[in-house]
Amino acid sequence: MDEFGRGPYYGPMPSVPVAIVGPRPESRFRRSVVLILVLAMLVVGIFWVVLVGRMAAGMPRPVTGTPLAVGEIDRGQSAKSLVDLAANSLLKPGSKLPTTDCELPEFDTDRKDLESYYLAAIDCLNRAWRPVVLQAGNAFVPPKLDTQDSPKSDCGEGPSEEEATAFYCSEDRTIYMPRVRLIDAVSDYPELHMAVLAHEYGHHVQYLSDILYAERLLENSAPKDESLELSRRTELQANCFAGVFLAAIKDHGSISSKFADDSVAGYDGSDDTDTHGTAHNRGMWAKRGLEAGNTIACDTWSAPVAEVK
């Protein structure tokens, strides 16, 4: 439960997606609590907003990332339409992520090694996204990492292994990546692990920039079809943000062009869903981010319906 006495709520999503889950906003002056999960199956009686990537062959005890800046997230501004969401300062006029040397340790699924790999990747994500988030006028708060196999978040009881592979909770600003679940989901492909982590972090960026909260306000009052479209626009944007990050680290440090390209290719391999969009569109938005390296490419809110199906 957050400082306003609200707890998270859940909603069902199909297999291996990344989902956003949070409390129903009651005031535009209140902060949202958002829980983002990579689901393995539907959860009955719960509301989800999700994205599916190809994790065919994709994700880590509580570990805290290196703090870069700390501040309260202002929830005073709320979008009233897609036009307002498109005008978010993170997207307009847009910002190019700085070139970031991303040195990652050798990938291994051993608990300690995998944890070190994720922490190193999150450090790269922090360094790449921090200046852009600050430039857009937002406080920057780095996420924490939890790799326990049976995680419990401040958003409430975490999903079971059958319900989810990994999740992000905005109340404690933590990315929960249970090691065993992730190995089962994406095996030992570091490119797919990075794809999932970068997408999860993309939702954290949406949270910091107030996009998640604004979208949730719209979604709560929208009819089913419009709600699903908002979900897809949100999830496809997180794919695009992941691509933008990969552009910033491509050919720098440990990240080769092939690694970045293979990570992006991971988004278009699973089935079409009404919450995350078609496999084609999931891959398309990730590729747009990779090719542009700029947040302006990730304006899913102004995109025609065909691009967010």
Q: Judge if the upstream peptide bond of residue 93 is cis by omega within 30 degrees of 0.
A: yes
Q: Which helix (H) or strand (E) holds 228?
A: helix 224-249
pLDDT at residue 79 in the model: 66
pLDDT at residue 15 in the model: 34
Whole-prediction pTM: 0.80
- How large a percentage of the chain has pLDDT more than 90? 56
Distance CA 113, CA 126 (A): 20
Residue 304 in any domain: the answer is: yes
Please determine, for residue 163, whether its predicted confidence score (pLDDT) is greater than 80. no
Output Rg (C-alpha) for the chain, integer angstroms. Answer: 17
Residue 32 in any domain: the answer is: yes
Distance CA 17, CA 255 (A): 25
What is the SS3 assignment for 29? coil
User: Higher model confidence: residue 126 or residue 171?
Assistant: 126
**Range with the lowest mean pLDDT among 6-10, 38-42, 80-84?**
6-10
Instruction: Write the DSSP string, 270-309.
Output: S--BTTTB-HHHHHHHHHHHHHH-BGGGG-TTSS-GGGG-
Residue 4 in any domain: the answer is: no
Those residues whose C-beta lies under 8 Å from the C-beta of residue 130, and which sit 6 or more positions away, are 68, 69, 140, 142
Q: For the segment 88-98, what is each residue's pLDDT rounded down to a tens digit? A: 999 999 999 99
Please determine, for residue 33, whether its predicted confidence score (pLDDT) is greater than 60. no
- Mean pLDDT (the chain) is 78
Expressed as residue numbers, the domain containing 124 is 17-308
Residue 10 in any domain: the answer is: no
According to DSSP, the β-strands at 144-146 and 174-176 are parallel
Residue 72 in any domain: the answer is: yes
**Range with the lowest mean pLDDT among 12-26, 51-65, 94-108, 191-205?**
51-65
If one counts every other C-beta atom within 10 angstroms of the C-beta of residue 225, the result is 9
CA distances to 80, 112, 180, 205, 241 from 202, rounded to whole Å, are 22, 25, 23, 5, 5
Distance CA 178, CA 169 (A): 14
Residue 8 in any domain: the answer is: no
Q: For the segment 202-229, what is each residue's pLDDT rounded down to a tens digit? A: 999 999 999 988 998 898 889 999 999 9
Q: For the segment 132-143, what is each residue's pLDDT rounded down to a tens digit? A: 999 999 999 999
Q: For the segment 256-294, what is each residue's pLDDT rounded down to a tens digit? A: 999 999 999 998 877 888 888 999 999 999 999 999 999
Cβ pair 144, 126 in contact under 8 A? no
Structural domains in the chain (count): 1
Distance CA 12, CA 185 (A): 19
Distance CA 261, CA 246 (A): 8
Residue 297 in any domain: the answer is: yes
Residue 5 in any domain: the answer is: no
